Amino acid sequence: MRYEAPSSIEGAVKLLAAEAGMARVLAGGTDLLVQLRSGRFEPDLIVDLKRIDGMHDIRKENGGYRIGAAVSGAELNEHAGLIALWPGVVEAAGLIGSTQVQGRATMSGNLCNASPAADSVPALIAAGALARIAGPEGERDVPVEEVPTGPGKTSLKKGEFVTSLFLPGRPPHSGDAYLRFIPRTEMDIAVVGSGVSLSLDDDGRVASARVALGAVAAQVLLVEEAAAAIIGTSLEAAALEKLAKAASAACRPIDDKRGTKEFRIKVAGVLTRRAALIAYERARAK
Amino acid sequence: MKQMTVSTTINGDVVEFLCEPDETLLDVLRNRLNLTGSKEGCGTGDCGACSVTLDGRLVCSCLVLGAEVNGREIGTIEGVADGDTLHPLQSKFLEHAALQCGICTPGILVAAKSLLERNPDPTETEVRYWLAGNLCRCTGYDKIIRAVLDTAAEMRGA
Amino acid sequence: MPLDNNNRVFKSVGTSPLRPDGLDKVTGRARFGADATASGMLWGRIVRSPHAHARIRSIDTSKAEALPGVKAVVTRADFATGLDGDIGDILENVMASEKALYQGHAVAAVAATSPSIARKAAKLIVVDYEVLPHVTDVDEAMKPDAPVLNEKIFTEGLAEKPTKPSNVVKRIEIGHGDVEKGFAAADVIIEHSFRTEATHQGYIEPHACLASAGPDGQGELWCCTQGHFMVRDTCAQLLGMDVSKLRVTASEIGGGFGGKTTVFIEPTALALSRKANRPVKIVMPREEVFVASGPTASSSIDIKIGATKDGRITAADAVLRYQGGAFPGSPVEMGAMTAFACYELEHVRCIGFEVVTNRPKAAAYRAPGAPMSAFAVESVIAELAEKLNIDPIELRLKNAVKEGSRSSYGPVFGPIGLIETLEAAKAHPHYSAPLGPNQGRGVASGFWFNFGGQTCTSLNVNIDGTVTLSVGTPDIGGSRASMCLMAAEELGIPYESVRTIIADTSSLGYNDVTDGSRVTFASGLATIAAARNAIKVLCERAAKMWGIPADAVIWEEGYAKPAGANAGEFEPLSLADIAKVAGNTGGPIAGHHEVNIETAGPSFATHIVDAEVDPETGRTQITRYTVVQDAGKAVHRAYVEGQFQGGAVQGIGWVLNECYIYGEDGVLQNAGFLDYRIPVASDLPMIDTVIVEVPNPGHPYGVRGVGETSIVPPLAAVANAVSAAAGVRLTELPMSPPRILVALEER
């Protein structure tokens, strides 16, 4: 195995594209090093992104924020502007692992690791985030939900990697929230995760909404029926009930060591209702 | 595997070492540099016993490659005391009997020090969440949390 | 040794000084199992079965041996032959011969010049397995058509010897009276079945050792263990070495809780070292700790208790089925003995079945066998209290054992402190504090025998009046501080003047393992006796210095004094005064003590816990916890509290989340700290403690063991709190959110 730490995006693309064997990108490394240790795979090349200019930056752009691929969860949670605009995304990223893991783990890595239980991904999808991908053909921007294609699988082609994520600007009276269910208070993989982002009209009714669920299917789900259940409402009890039902109905979970099907379906509804209420309060407060 | 030359700073001292590309910082510290104060409890970032700081940021050294730390600054448990003067956390841990077997203690001290540098007046809940990635199986955490809170109070008073 | 004096005023004992090993442990200097190195050291790696049950057709080591950097490969052929019984099982567990009996069972091992070469070499060892049907569940394993692990196991303890082998190793029965008669006298009978899953001790330090052996038949071993004498004797047998030629040093130990009371990797490291003629280090990766060390048993339990309307228990009956992994040794007998030990019963019966399954061989885990049966019994007691509308502590007080009670397992109790813990719990502000919405309160009591055992200590007086104490029981929770306190108390010198070390196996006589909560009690007793023996010598030397008979000298608060006016007028001599001139008065001054202590003072505890259950997700949060336990005499108060708190929290983990999860393939699904969920700091409240002191008549200061009792009540205490909060009785551990949610919906 070789370790390379290129100083430019082009250099990284070149290395990744030229590797005949298996190449892996190292951002935070909190998933990659665990996989290396387990012997699940033995890459021939590791390309560390952390020495590339801009990879550690959080930059304002068109009223939103561009977040470099090597920005850690801890850095996100120290950025007041980002927290003010996308509190749900930041809290989702902040739930990944311990304080120690937060010192390294990145949202781009969380996205590209392609776990259906990744905490930041439902929040990113609810937020309508875009991933910027660099590759031999140049750069392209894609909605984050198009990056993971199944457990451990992504749509990234050979030589490609995510260089940044873009969280768009948003209208006034907007809010988002992410909740996950874990049996402990910390250190667990989500059994269910729910991200809700919404904007209100001047009367306090939901004008637009996006709802995404994690750990309830092979991929994180964007649940349009759930969003539709609350659009035009002020989250009255009936709307919340409908929202919870729509969220539960969208789940296609499995039984595994972390939870049962029935549990995930039920709790997806509960969490989505709770997350929507938090997002709604945040939106109203602005 | 071809070994790599890495130059770094550990506890303020310049250190050079050779390592394999897939070797973790924890393995380098323990097996190549004989800094065995950082412990391996899991090797997967789940227990915090290998906690160190990397450019001032708390991390698990088992989740860092040795090759990554070229030109970086590392802080380990061996650098927590200032010569023969213990860090107040170290003294308070002894005073509060906040350790039983002691295997998690280095990681917890490194983590707690990092907390107090950022937040000199943490609440009990903040201490508990900051240290959630540091498993201790002996103490039930009670005396550890008390020791950290008492240290913070003392350091604020000083 | 009997209790000295019930009203003794202590100077050192009962305080909480800084621990002697503290500085090393807060600076990273303390050397644990994996922290030792040696010149020319190799790295060992063990090859383990991926199958739960498989016949080993052949093992091809040639490719591994051919890999550059590989210096030795061992299989079962490199160990002693002709061992049977328990030692044969230990060897079979350390290295499989014909069959792999669980996923993770060792089948071969390599030693190489680097960890990465060792890892590669391990992968190059080709094992040809014939996969066999397996069974991991205790009830499944008892069925007549279950796959049989061992054709030589014919259930013992049945009226008729079985004609077919099975997985049931033995049936035991204990108790007295006539339970049918007792149930006939009951106004209320409550009957439930319970299940608990296997849990792991979860020590943060994986097993690790550094072995050095050579063709001269001698060897050295450095390892983290609860008993280095046990390691020495076992390894010598497994390798065919003379016991005297193997010297074992116990490293600092990063937690054990019973899990380090046997050998796993140490004999293999020695075998590799002997073959390579170089030192070999083996460190278990965490995953291997879960799959291949010794968790505790899982269980399936039926409890039936009858009582009169006014709360007097008339009969108690239990059937316990404990699987202890692939070899005999499940702790069912202790589960049966402790199940009803808190209650004075005229009619009591406990039937136990010891069962083998395709899981790792169980090792001890803090009060082995007791937490599960206490969980079941104390759950039924809580329900009985509810049904009879009697306060649960009152109900326990009505039936509690006291001095003179015949225990459910036979012997008559001496002075014990169960009633005192119940009274203290009842009086504690926690017990009457108001509860919030969705919260419930649980109470449970628990018992552990404690243990004495073979113990040997040596106390040496140094030229400057300081003292060096050698004990042979690894210090797992601060026992060196306690030993220093007891030696200082006896000799009348400051705590700081005593240094206690854990001597290696060649420097001290045999000591039993650090287990059974025996160390502060037994090594403490031997320390006090050794100090008294040293005092005799000190008095003789003072007598010599003064020219008076030895029996005319007494020892008081650190000084030799003339026994009375008749003895003559002399200025008292301090220990340092006498030590300074020891070379002129007869040479070194020391005291020793060797003993096999066959009694121990049992300890009882009562725990109170509040839990809050989220009715929509089934998630439980522990909101308040109080431990009340009898310590006899707390030697180091802060460490006694620490034992109480640690036991309670391990118990909380056991109830709520911890468990071994097996797939249909018999492979462990959660072999890591991510999914084997032990409590983290943010899961918990502070753990309040009350130390009750009812002196143990069998120890000069009244000390009882405290380490294990603390994990007996919490399973039931938390279960009772969760059941109260949820409004439904939960009978299966762990009480995970999915399980609680189902119970809430079925309520």
Cross-chain Cβ contact C669/A257 below 8 Å: yes
Does the structure show a pLDDT above 90 at C295? yes
Say which amino acid occupies C499. R
The residues pairing with C211 across neighbouring beta strands, listed in sequence order, are C221, C280
- Cβ atoms C293, C299 nearer than 8 A: no
On whether any CB of chain C is under 8 Å from the CB of B78, the answer is yes
Q: C461 — phi, psi (to 5°)? A: -90, 125
Name the β-bridge partners of A176. Answer: A197
SS3 A107: helix
The rounded distance, in Å, linking the Cα atoms of A248 and C8 is: 67
CATH code matching the domain that covers A2-48+55-167, chosen among 2.10.109.10, 3.40.50.1370, 3.30.465.10, 3.30.930.10: 3.30.465.10
**Quick one: pLDDT at residue C260?**
98
C48 pLDDT higher than 90: yes
Q: Which of A48, A103, A186 sits opposite B68 (nearest CB)?
A: A48
| pLDDT at position A31 | 97
Domain spans of chain A, in order of start: 2-48+55-167, 174-284
- Chain A interface with B: residues with Cβ < 8 Å: 1-3, 5, 26, 29-30, 33-34, 36-37, 46, 48, 50, 72, 74, 97-101, 103-104, 185-187
Per-residue pLDDT at C7: 82
A174-284 classified as CATH 3.40.47.10: no
Sequential DSSP letters for A26-70: ESS-TTHHHHHHHTS---SEEEE-TTSTTTT-EEEETTEEEEETT
What residues of C are in contact with residue B76 (Cβ under 8 Å)? 28
Buried b / exposed e across C74-86, counting CB within 10 Å, b at 16+? bbbebbbeebeee
**CA separation for the pair C538, A112 (Å, rounded):** 74
Q: What is the pLDDT of residue C567?
A: 87
Rounded Cα–Cα distance for residues C378 and C339 (Å): 9
Neighbouring chains to C with at least 3 Cβ pairs closer than 8 Å: A, B
Nearest to C650 by CA among C660, C661, C658: C658
Q: Do B40 and C25 touch (CB under 8 A)?
A: no
B9 inside 8 A of chain C by CB: no
> CA C708, CA C295: separation in Å to the nearest integer?
16
CA distance C683 to chain A (A): 6
Say what the pTM is: 0.98
Helix (H) or strand (E) holding C61: none
pLDDT (average), residues A30-54: 95
Listing DSSP states for C426-451 in one string gives HHSHHHHS---TTEEEEEEEEEE---
CB contact under 8 A, B135 and C204: yes
Of the options 3.40.50.300, 3.90.1170.50, 3.90.1720.10, 3.40.50.11030, the CATH number for the domain spanning C36-133+201-292: 3.90.1170.50
SS3 C296: coil
Residues in chain B within 8 Å Cβ distance of A46: 21-22, 65
**CB A110, CB A181: distance < 8 Å:** no
Q: Please report, as a single letter, which amino acid is at residue C10.
A: F
Give per-residue pLDDT as tens, B93-135: 999 999 999 999 999 999 999 999 999 999 999 999 999 999 9
Written out in words, the top-level CATH class of the domain with range C426-443+601-746 is: alpha beta
Q: Does residue B7 sit in helix, strand or coil?
A: strand
Test B44 with C650 for CB contact under 8 angstroms. no
pLDDT of residue C213: 98
Report the DSSP pairing between strands B13-19 and B4-10.
antiparallel
Is a pLDDT exceeding 80 seen at residue B1? no
Domains and CATH numbers, chain B: 4-79 (3.10.20.30), 88-156 (1.10.150.120)
**pLDDT score of C8:** 87
Place of tokens 């040696």: C38
Contact flag A188-C677 (C-beta cutoff 8 Å):
yes
Residue C216 DSSP label: T
Q: Strand (E) positions, C343-494? A: 348-355, 439-448, 453-461, 467-471
Answer yes or no: do A267 and C616 touch at CB < 8 A: yes
Is the predicted pLDDT of residue C696 greater than 80, yes or no? yes
Give the model's pLDDT for residue C566.
87
- C281 has which bridge partners? C43, C210
Under the banding of pLDDT at 50, 70 and 90, the label for residue A39 is confident
C244, C246, C247, C253: CA torsion to nearest 10 = -130
Domains C22-30+452-597 and C36-133+201-292 share a fold: no
C5 falls in which pLDDT band (50, 70, 90)? confident
The pair of structure tokens assigned to C100 is 């792999």
Which of B1, B59, B126, B148 is best to mutate for the A interface (most A CBs within 10 A)? B59
Name the pLDDT band for A40 (thresholds 50, 70, 90).
Answer: confident
State the Cα–Cα distance between residues C146 and C355, nearest whole angstrom.
Answer: 12
CB–CB contact C684 B109 (8 Å): no
> Percent of chain B scored above 70 by pLDDT?
99
Nearest by CB to residue B97, choosing from C116, C254, C642, is: C642
Q: Do B132 and A98 touch (CB under 8 A)?
A: yes
Look at residue C167 and tell me whether its pLDDT is greater than 90.
yes
Could you give the count of Cα atoms lying within 13 Å of C747 in the half-sphere of its Cβ? 16
Q: What angle do CA C202, C208, C211 make, to 5 degrees?
A: 160
Determine whether domain C22-30+452-597 maps to CATH 3.40.1280.30: no
**Residues above pLDDT 70, as percent of chain C:** 100
Nearest CB to C682: which of A185, A270, A271?
A185
How many Å lie between the alpha carbon of C617 and the closest alpha carbon of chain B?
Answer: 22
Where do we find the tokens 């082998």? C165
Determine contact, residues A213/A192, Cβ cutoff 8 Å: yes
Nearest to A259 among C616, C673, C738 (CB): C738
Tell me how close the Cα of C355 comes to any Cα of chain A, in angstroms: 25
Rounded to 5 degrees, what are φ and ψ at C205? -90, 115
Beta-bridge partner residues of C387: none
- Quick check: C564 pLDDT over 90? no
Q: Could you read off the pLDDT of C620-679 as tens digits, one per residue?
A: 999 999 999 999 999 999 999 999 999 999 999 999 999 999 999 999 999 999 999 999
Nearest CA in chain B to A51: B68
Query: How many other CB atoms sit within 10 Å of the CB of residue C574?
Result: 18
A41: pLDDT confidence band, cut at 50, 70 and 90?
A: confident
Tens of pLDDT along A226-253?
999 999 999 999 999 999 999 999 999 9
Q: What are the phi and psi torsion angles at B116 (to 5°)?
A: -70, -25
Determine the pLDDT at residue C599. Answer: 87
d(CA A213, CA A206): 19
Query: Which of A99, A113, A182 to probe the B interface (max B CBs under 10 A)?
Result: A99
Contact C680 A263 (CB under 8 A): no
Domain residues of chain C, as ranges? 22-30+452-597, 36-133+201-292, 426-443+601-746
